[in-house]
Amino acid sequence: MTHTYFHFDGFEVQADADDEGRWYGLPGTAPSVETTITSYGRAAARWNLAAGAGSLRIYSERDTEGQWVDDDTPEEDVWMSFHLYITTLPGAGQFYYLCRCGDASVNPRTALRINGTTGFLEVYSDGSATWEAGSVALSAGVWYVVSFKNFSGVAPQGIVRNRDTGATVDSKTHSNAGGSQARYIEIGPYTTSTGNCVFDNWVVESHATAANIDDPVNDLGTRYACGLLLPTVAGSYDAWTGTFADVDDTPHDDDATRRAGTAAQAFTQGLASTSTLAAQVAMVKATMHFAFLKASAAGKSCALRLRSGATDVDTSAVADIASGAYVCKQMLRTTDPATSSAWTVSGVDSAEVGALSNSTTIYCTLAGMELLYTVGDITRTKVVAYVMDDFDPERRVFDARTGEELPYEEVQPNVGWLRVTSGEMPDSSSPADAWEDETLLPIDSVRFSQDASGPSLDIIPSSEGLAEQLIRGLANSSGSL
């Protein structure tokens, strides 16, 4: 099977509500940035609506710069997938719309929605202007992977799989073919919807030839992610004013921190290692490097630069950099320019991203690289990161390596284990075998909060298990740890 990746988004860049070219448009209500319930990442998009609507829209074509093209010569066939978490299902007689492909007049040709009366996935085809339902009720509190097919003259299809097991939950193919190929592609509740859902790891394949695309899950599996790598060090080119620290904020901070370059000047930045991503990288499928740019006057030009090994590749430079708001330029690549072969983890780790100015003056407020990858087996190393004493009335948390007391807000998930001590137990410098297993708490997530009663820290254990009574025993005076 052939896969032609066209776009992907893990929503970690967190562009402003006016989208700034990350997508073509944001019809209706913009999603909120979700950072607690996410799928193998640090952010997701949530629409919590009561008879409301909102979506993210892209066109089905790009130009040589990687930018969206509103063009019908030709329009494209589409396969796409995304991770979906239902917080609240729509009620009886209500619907929550998930995605659609449409024509130049913004009419849906094919679409998916959840029926609140039955909980079933439903598929729309403009061939008959009808919705047809699957047969399995979807549940709240579960991560699903939804796949959606829109081909010219072919019946549209929706597939729901369990993200963690890969098992197919439901699959529905409409009995009537859709009208034609897609001019635009949308994710989110594009028309009046009620419910609360989180969307993550949106992947789109799009091509004028149907044989060149397929369900992304057939290549990625259900355990895949769209991660973000931000600048951490100066690169091989450093002619622009400022440093990497001026282009690493998400969401970006407009003109508060930025780099500036004049004609024929370039900058590149080294990126954070793939090991810093929220999920372990098994195989890299595509990269998308980007920069948020604006010009000192309208009609200036600037190219994106990617450096891999000793190879520099630039996008074409078109005189379309605006002088008002920053605009995101982005370029997707499925191969490493240095090798002309598929990306490897080491190739991504050595890559640099930036820009080449062809005019005076170009500003950049954020640059980085997104990564589409399959998730490897997640393993834990029992490294004690934090220590606290069960009898400490102040409920202090210490760095197990240095013995330094830590503010609650610095306790992080997925970096180690919490050790709970008492006066009769060894201190943190004792060998691991000096401890009883039940004194180790694997940390899956933490939440720091502060209110009138004082600061508190909620530590949520993984399913690898700490007895509930230990959690209760660690509760502080405000009711949480």
Q: Identify whether 434 is part of a domain.
A: yes
- Please report whether residue 347 resides in a domain: yes
Find tokens 């909060």 and name the residue: 449
DSSP strand pairing (95-102 vs 108-115): antiparallel
Looking at the fold, whether 237 and 342 belong to one and the same domain comes out as: yes
Domain hosting residue 139, numbered range:
5-222
In the predicted structure, residue 319 carries a pLDDT above the cut 80: no
Are 469 and 401 in a shared domain?
yes
Residue bearing the bigger pLDDT, 155 or 24: 155
> Residue 474 pLDDT > 50, yes or no?
no
The pLDDT tens digits for 160-178 are: 999 999 999 999 999 998 7
pLDDT digits (tens, 9 = 90+) for 456-469: 555 554 444 333 43
Q: Are 309 and 350 in contact (CB under 8 A)?
A: yes
Supply the DSSP string of 157-209, one letter for each residue.
Answer: EEEEEETTT--EEEEEE-SS--SS-BSEEEES--SSEEEEEEEEEEEEEEESS
What is the band of 473 on the pLDDT scale with cuts at 50, 70, 90?
very low
Instruction: Please check whether residue 461 lies inside any domain of the structure.
Output: yes
Looking at per-residue confidence, does 361 or 388 come out higher? 361
Total domains in the chain come to 3
**Of residues 338 and 416, more confidently modeled:** 338
At 438 the pLDDT is: 45
Cα angle, residue 244 at apex, residues 239 and 248 outer, rounded to 5°: 140
CATH number of the domain enclosing 39:
2.60.120.560
Question: What CATH number is associated with residue 301?
Answer: 2.60.120
Q: Whose CA is closest to 308, among 341, 276, 265, 282? A: 341
388 shares its domain with 369? no
Residue 375 clears pLDDT 80, i.e. is over it: yes
Decide which of 177, 205, 222 is a domain's last residue.
222
Element spanning 347, H or E: helix 345-349
75 lies in the same domain as 206 = yes
Is position 239 within any domain? yes
Nearest Cα neighbor of 20 from 409, 468, 324 is 324
Nearest to 7 by CA among 198, 186, 130, 146: 186
Count CB neighbours of 119 within 10 A.
17
- Domain final residue, candidates 222, 254, 273: 222
- Are 258 and 369 members of one domain? yes
In this predicted structure, the answer to whether residue 445 has a pLDDT above a threshold of 90 is no
pLDDT of residue 305: 96
Predicted confidence at residue 428, as pLDDT, reads 43
Are residues 264 and 200 part of one domain?
A: no
pLDDT higher than 70, residue 24: yes
Categorize the per-residue pLDDT at 394 as very low, low, confident or very high, splitting at 50, 70 and 90: confident
**Residue 458 in contact with residue 474, Cβ under 8 Å?**
no
Residues 423 and 402 in one domain: yes
Residue 417 has pLDDT above 60, yes or no: no
- The answer to whether residue 479 is domain-embedded is no
Residue 298 domain-assigned (yes or no): yes
Sorted by sequence, the CB contacts under 8 Å of residue 67 that are 6+ apart come out as: 21, 329, 330
**H-helix or E-strand containing 363?**
strand 362-375
User: Mean pLDDT, to the nearest integer, of 225-245?
Assistant: 96
Residue 434's pLDDT is what? 38
Q: Let me know if residue 210 belongs to a domain.
A: yes
* Whole-number Å distance between alpha carbons of 355 and 361: 12
Co-location of 365 and 389 in the same domain = no
Residues 359 and 418 in one domain: no
Average pLDDT rounded to a whole number, residues 271-276 = 92
480 occurs within a structural domain: no
Q: Residue 205: which pLDDT band, with cuts at 50, 70 and 90?
A: very high
pLDDT of residue 227: 95
Give how far Cα 473 sits from Cα of 366, 458, 466, Å. Answer: 45, 13, 12
More confident residue, 144 or 72: 144
CA 125 from chain centre, in angstroms, equals 29
Percent above pLDDT 70 for the chain: 79
Cβ-count burial 390-420 (b if 16+ within 10 Å, e if not) = eeeeebebbbbeeeeebebeebeeeebbbbb
Distance CA(12)–CA(24), nearest Å, equals 17
Query: CA Rg, the chain, in Å?
Result: 24
Residues 93 and 138 in one domain: yes
Looking at the structure, tell me whether residues 217 and 80 fall in a common domain.
yes
Average pLDDT, the chain: 83
Q: What is the pLDDT of residue 16?
A: 54
CA 26 to chain centre: 17
Pair (282, 425) in one structural domain: no
Length of the chain: 481
The pLDDT value given to residue 467:
36
pLDDT score for 348: 96
Which domain-ending residue is among 348, 375, 402?
A: 375
Q: Of 197, 143, 138, give the one whose Cα is nearest residue 170.
A: 138
pLDDT score at 333: 95
